[in-house]
Structure 1
Amino acid sequence: MIRDSEQRPHQRLDVWRDGMALVEAIYRLSEGFPESERFGLAHQMRRSAVSVPSNITEGAARRSRQEYLRFLSIARGSLAELDTQMELAIRLGFRQRSDAPLELLNRCFARLNALIRSIDASAPTRTSPRATPHESLIPNP
């Protein structure tokens, strides 16, 4: 097992871990979709799910807070897409409302929103010498 000190910054984020678990759950869920949906809704749900931890990772690797927030916003947009796609899967009879991915999706939304608020609230003011526009407060290994 990798120790926290050996992990990349994004791997220490609970929202990234939840996003990865969500991807796994969506892949498992969509395996049960009809074969005719292999390149339809199942494919789109998988792409949306993969986009969440991918954008969290890419944002964490950027050098500015503004870029980080932009990628977190893209991840949140992907979660919203996935939410709609999961609703479509219910309406089309491909899944039940009680499926576990919904709980993971809700937890990802909550944690992602909290992270965005936290980063946004920690933004330095013009008079604060904490960071320049090109300096990231997010540690890199």
Structure 2
Amino acid sequence: MFLQLAHTRLIVFARSRDLILESYSLTRYFPESENFGLTQQIRRAACSIHLNLAEGCSRKSTAERNRFFEIARGSLIEVDTAVGIAIALKYIPDEQLENIKVLIIENFKLLSAMIH
């Protein structure tokens, strides 16, 4: 935020932040019984994507960068899986699915392209 480093100008960095905001927005309406379950899991995993991306960009070696990008992609898969559970439990109305779907797919493509 205060450090204007190169990774803050990456499209994937902006889109992973969008995913965090959308995740918080969607989970805001989950049942109170999920406060320490799916709500927190989705939010933590979404933040993990963004944070691991930032940390990976700070690494000097390709192997280290890739490892953090792989962790970020794994967290994205975790978000996707947890959202799938929330859908099955009918916590997310169909009309609210499009944004999260687009963000998950876009982030997956962008992160995958960064791993070499």
Shift of 1:85: 0.3
The gaps in structure 2 that reach 5 residues or longer are none
In structure 2, give the amino acid aligned to 1:108.
N
State the partner residue of 1:107: 106
SS in 2 for 1:71: helix
Give the number of the structure whose residues are more often helix, by fraction: 2
Corresponding residue number in structure 2 for 1:67: 64
SS in 2 for 1:59: helix
Indicate which of 81, 88, 91 corresponds to 1:91.
88
Assess if the C-alpha contact under 8 Å between 2:66 and 2:114 holds in 1. Answer: no
Q: What is the deviation of 1:7?
A: 2.8
Unmatched tracts of structure 1, length 5 or more: 121-141
1:39 pairs with 36, 42, 54, which one?
Answer: 36
Task: Name the CA distance, whole Å, in 2 between partners of 1:13 and 1:70.
Answer: 18
What is the alpha-carbon root mean square deviation over aligned residues?
Answer: 1.5
| Cα distance in 2 for residues equivalent to 1:29 and 1:88 | 13
- In 2: Cα distance, 1:97 partner to 1:50 partner: 24
Distance 1:43 1:76 in 2: 18
AA aligned opposite 1:47: R
> Please, what TM-score do these two structures have when normalized by structure 1?
0.76
Among 53, 77, 83, the alignment partner of 1:56 is 53
Matches within 5 A, 1:120-135: 120=116
Q: Would you identify which runs of 4 or more consecutive aligned residues in structure 1 move more than 6 Å?
A: none
> Equivalents in 2 of 1:34, 1:56: separation in Å?
30
